[in-house]
Chains A and B, each alone.
Chain A
Amino acid sequence: QMQLQESGPGLVKPSETLSLTCSVSGGSIGGYYWNWIRQPAGKGLEWIGRIYISGTTNYNPSLKSRVTMSVDTSKNQISLKVASATAADTAMYFCARREDTFDIWGRGTMVTVSS
């Protein structure tokens, strides 16, 4: 059974870059789109973007200028970077596999942007 695990600093200073990693176990990352989705406390879900193993990406226009995703096939990992972080980026961040929809999710990692 494939499992996803998000990791990264829980606290990021304003204006710095938020960096997270999604580690995939129990299967290869090939053949799927890998997504990042976030949820601020008390709010709904927001799709951040997706990446395919080829490196093809699509980002949400609301974050596009600040987001970079990458994939490391040797480590079976997907990475997310959000530049110039602000308090509005404080949220639970999830990675999710997409076959025809988001069928497998990580447990999420909480990121707080604060000085």
Chain B
Amino acid sequence: EVVLTQSPDFQSVTPQEKVTITCRASQSIGSSLHWYQKKPDQSPKLLIKYASQSFSGVPSRFSGSGSGTDFALTINSLETEDAATYYCHQSSTLPWTFGQGTKVEIK
């Protein structure tokens, strides 16, 4: 199966700072990489699909990039409501897999 490794595992950030989370795949997955935001007691919310396509209704401060094995999620000008755990997910090869998650805390 495709193993996704996110970095860092945890990040403490001041509001208005820029945040970058990376996701590395164990083999090339093209652009079949998606990003989700999950808050406690809520279901995950799709932010970015196919590496760089913003999902409907997602604030423009969220953006994605990458292809092949290396991907990134960027949050420009972090807001307090962005405190959450972020997961990457690949849909190139079954079984579909997720990264271990990156928890973003607001200082």
Contacts and interface: CB of A to CB of B under 8 A. Distances in A.
Contacts of B98: 44-47
A101 B95 contact: no
Interface in B48-73: 49-50, 55
A47 B95 contact: yes
A44 B100 contact: yes
A40 interface: no
Contact of A102 (B44, B94, B100): B44
Given A45-B87, A103-B46, A108-B43, A58 B101 contact: no
A102 B87 contact: no
Contacts of B49: 100-101
A101 B87 contact: no
A101 B46 contact: yes
B87 A44 contact: yes
Contact of B44 (A46, A58, A62, A105): A105
Interface of A: 44-47, 58-62, 94, 96, 100-103, 105-108
Interface of B: 1, 34, 36, 38, 42-46, 49-50, 55, 87, 89, 91, 94-101
